[in-house]
Amino acid sequence: MKLLLITIAAFLIALVSASPAPGHKRGLAFNNPSTYVQHFNGPNSAVSWAYNWDSTTDDAFPHNNLQFMPMLWSDAPDHTANASPSPPSPYLLLKNTAELTLSSGAAIAELESPRSSICISMSPQRAVDAYRKYMMPFAHREISLGAPAVTNGPDGLPWLREFVRLCTGCQIDFLPIHWYDAATNILYFKNHLAEAHAVTVTGGGGGSRQIWLTEFHGSGTPDEQVAFLRDVMPWMDATPWISRYAWFWTEPSYDQGALVHADGQPTALGLVYAYTPSPLTVCTCTW
């Protein structure tokens, strides 16, 4: 079935290490910190960071155990007005618009944004202009800057290549991407990430950039999703050019693979996500 996927123009900025240690790459996409991220930081959990599509969170967020990654969702005044000009550490700035494409894969809740189904198209040139205005002021300040993120829709990586080509002289340290498809398409998942990494190598600027998989979701039965995560997470943890990743998402009302129940306790999938060991960790789980 043909379903809507979205090509996301997303800018990220971070004061954290561009390449955390294996086993510390997993993150949570959430909206309610006081309820939904409190139970993913137990002994042997591989979850180390979280974000909420916003530039701030409340005091209930467990800062002592998880790194909060603020985001600037768009260049609209109501978003830019709340963004800090001096980002706290750790910091991630996301600038997000959407270009609709058609692709086979999983349905995406409310057009990639949990709060809004309204998205606008952004050309690569417009993204470059916004990147220079909002991102480049942070350049050369011991801050890692991320290029616009794209999904695995057919226009995603071509769009990203054009952005990198046009953004001459830009500091681009890593590339955030999204992936949505069937949980059984494991080979496609790995091949797509490798193709995205090829953009980091050949897109200009010299060297190789890290990949941040800021949203990914494999649709299917609960057993298929568990098998998918148990295959791809150790692979991502062991892949040096994949720096961070976050499953979509930590929200109990999402009926296609939520990581939490309504009471904030992890689902069976959430336990697999948090406690499947990486190649360099040992799990003493009892479940």
CA 112 to centroid of chain Cα atoms: 11
pLDDT value for 71? 73
Neighbouring CB atoms inside 10 A of 207's CB total: 7
3-state DSSP assignment of residue 121: coil
Beta strands in 154-201 (DSSP E): 174-182
Instruction: Give 201-210 pLDDT, tens digit per residue.
Output: 765 554 578 8
Instruction: Give 65-81 pLDDT, tens digit per residue.
Output: 888 887 767 667 777 67
pLDDT value for 116? 28
Look at residue 216 and tell me whether its pLDDT is greater than 50: yes
| More confident site: 245 or 87 | 245
State how far the Cα of 278 lies from the Cα of 283, in Å rounded to an integer.
Answer: 9
Q: What is the DSSP letter of 110?
A: G
Look at residue 35 and tell me whether its pLDDT is greater than 90: no
pLDDT value for 174? 83
Note whether 216 and 192 are within 8 A (CB).
no
Rounded to two decimals, the pTM is 0.81
State how far the Cα of 149 lies from the Cα of 151, in Å rounded to an integer.
Answer: 7
